[in-house]
């Protein structure tokens, strides 16, 4: 089927080429010179008509059957690896020499007892502050020579004394009552001493 179509296709292509060449030659040839007698301008040259070439028929290609692949040869097994020689055991380590015993430490000397500390002296209480003696006055107006005279109390009773208005001396005791004063008068003390 392919061989009868090939000359027909070649003939059609050749005729199309001839028609195209003839049209090109007509277009390239110059127009004839105008005559003096003709007054009207020559008509413009008509464009060459190109005949449409029929499309070439589709080529039918027959697919050839794929060539059968050659069967793969079986892979040869790899040669067996040579067995590794057994590792030689490491040489035994030399035994470490025994450590020499350290010399015995010298015995510690007993600590000498520290001398006993001297006992602290007992704290001496501070001396008592001297009490300021109180001043008393005779408050009996009948004894003018001793009345309202300020007299200090003695040391054995600096805060608790009274003034004997008759003798005008301090006494460590309670004040005399009025009855005691009367007794003093009865003892024969002159009146002039009482009203000085």
Task: Choose the weakest-confidence range: 8-12, 68-72, 169-173.
Answer: 68-72
Strand partners, 136: 151
Q: What angle do CA 61, 64, 69 make, to 5 degrees?
A: 155
| Mean per-residue pLDDT over the chain, rounded | 68
Task: Give the mean pLDDT of 47-72.
Answer: 52
- Neighbouring C-beta atoms of residue 170, cutoff 10 Å: 20
Percent of all residues in the chain with a pLDDT value above 90, rounded to a whole number: 0
Residue 4 has pLDDT above 70, yes or no: no
Whose tokens are 């027959």? That residue is: 62
Q: Using pLDDT thresholds of 50, 70 and 90, give the confidence band for residue 68.
A: low
31-58 pLDDT tens trace: 555 554 444 555 555 544 554 455 555 5
Please check the confidence at residue 179 and state whether its pLDDT lies above 50: no
pTM beyond cutoff 0.85: no
């Amino acid at each position: 089927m392919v061989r009868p179509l090939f000359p027909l296709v070649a003939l059609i292509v050749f005729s199309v080429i001839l028609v195209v060449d003839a049209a090109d030659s007509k277009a390239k040839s110059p127009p004839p010179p105008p005559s003096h007698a003709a007054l009207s301008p020559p008509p413009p040259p008509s464009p060459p008509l190109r005949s449409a070439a029929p499309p070439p028929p589709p080529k039918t290609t027959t697919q050839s059957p794929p060539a059968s692949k050659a069967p793969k040869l079986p892979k040869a097994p790899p040669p067996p690896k040579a067995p590794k020689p057994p590792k030689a055991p490491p040489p035994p380590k030399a035994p470490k020499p025994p450590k020499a015993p350290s010399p015995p430490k010298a015995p510690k000397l007993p600590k000498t007892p520290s001398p006993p500390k001297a006992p602290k002296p007992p704290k001496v209480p501070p001396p008592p502050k001297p009490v300021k003696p109180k001043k008393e006055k005779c408050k009996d107006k009948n004894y003018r020579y001793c009345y309202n005279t300020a007299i200090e109390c003695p040391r054995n009773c600096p805060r608790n004394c009274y003034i004997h208005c008759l003798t005008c001396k301090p006494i460590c005791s309670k004040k005399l009552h009025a009855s005691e004063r009367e007794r003093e008068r009865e003892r024969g003390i002159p009146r002039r001493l009482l009203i000085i």
